[in-house]
Amino acid sequence: MYSSQLQTFVYFLGGVGSLCQEFFSHLSLKKIDRDLLFEQIYQIGARSLPLVIVTAVSTGMVMSLQFGIGLEKFGGKPYVAKIVTLSILRELGPVFASLMVAARVGAGIASEIGSMVVTQQIDAIRALGTSPIQKIVLPRILACVITVPILAVFANCVGIFGAMIVGITELNLDPYFFMNKVLENDLRDFSAGFFKTFFFAFIIAIVSCYLGLQVKEGTRGVGLATTKAVVASSIGIFIGDYFLTKLFWVIEQWMYY
């Protein structure tokens, strides 16, 4: 049983790797269909913004409240602003924004492509002498890689804003004091989280495209691919997050110390 699961996993990694290779071989400015790219940027970026904002605001508010209540016992309430901001910039903003995109967009990409496979639209793209990688995969991956970092910046801003609202209204922190503590975080704190989102976006898009293209069992297969896309990209984000955090930490050590 475990050997067949391992075989499936290795097959999945091989398939994703092969799709990566095809993606990079098709990646050229001349081959990018700008209309398709802008459409995907709108679908993936603009339409995910409300979800990302709601998630980030509530996360910032809850974090502020929890740290406020927890640290008050030790007289550490003034540290709330710094701790919450640091957590949002380095981890929560980028990771939660990416997870929301994985849930909304990853599922959407897998089900859309899967449905295209089932209704022979992918075959039609090939039969008409064009490439599904160029027409379907390329715009989606590029749109993800462009929009997720921007969404993460929005998530950082509104997350900190949410934390500040709670800090001021519930924890009675001074707004100027809170803002000063927020601004104490430097570019390193921002960039450590920001640069991770490019990798997260790539993971979400490539995994979802791959699973969509692999649909074989009609509508049931579309449902399975959708679920797998969300699960696999979320796991990819969590695993990738650890290694990227470690990588950026090493880079920071090397650059600044």
Partner 1 sequence: MDVLLEVRHFKKKFGTKQVHRDISFQLQKGECLGLIGGSGSGKSVLLRSLIGLEKPDEGELFFQGQNISNFNEEAFIPVRKKIAYVFQGGALFDSMSVFENLAYPLRNHTQLTEPEIEKKILDLLQEFGLAGNEALLPSSLSGGMQKRVGLARSIILGPEVILYDEPTAGLDPFNTRKIEDMIQGLKKKGTTSVLVTHDMPVAFQVCDRIAFLKEGYIAEVIDKKDLRQEKGLLHQFSQGEIP
What are the backbone angles phi and psi of residue 128, rounded to the nearest 5°?
-85, 15
Per rule CB under 8 A, count of chain residues that contact partner 1: 11
Q: Identify which of residues 40 and 64 has a Cβ nearer to partner 1 in the complex.
A: 40
Does residue 191 touch partner 1 according to CB under 8 A?
A: no
Compare residues 22 and 91 and give the one whose CB is closer to partner 1.
22
233-239's contacts with Cβ under 8 Å and 24+ in sequence apart are 233/102, 233/106, 233/203, 233/204, 233/207, 233/208, 234/99, 234/102, 234/103, 236/200, 236/203, 236/204, 236/207, 237/95, 237/98, 237/99, 237/102, 237/200, 237/203, 237/204
Residue closer to partner 1, measured from CB, 21 or 119? 119
- Minimum Å gap between C-beta 152 and partner 1 is 28
For the CB of residue 135, give the shortest distance to partner 1 in the complex, in Å.
Answer: 9
Nearby residues of 2 by Cβ (< 8 Å), 6 or more positions away = none
Chain residues 11-30 in contact with partner 1, contact rule CB under 8 A: none
Q: Which residue's CB is nearer to partner 1, number 123 or number 217? A: 123
Among the residue ranges 50-58, 83-91, 113-121, 194-202, the one whose residues contact partner 1 (CB under 8 A)? 113-121
Q: Measured from the CB atom, is 123 or 184 closer to partner 1?
A: 123
DSSP for 144-197, please give it.
Answer: HHHHHHHHHHHHHHHHHHHHHHHHHHTS---HHHHHHHHHTS-HHHHHHHHTHH
Tell me the closest approach of the beta carbon of residue 122 to partner 1, in angstroms: 9
Both tokens assigned to 85: 């901001």
**Per-residue mark of binding to partner 1, 114-153 (x: CB under 8 A):** -----xxx-xx-xxxxxx----------------------
Applying CB under 8 A, which residues contact partner 1?
119-121, 123-124, 126-131
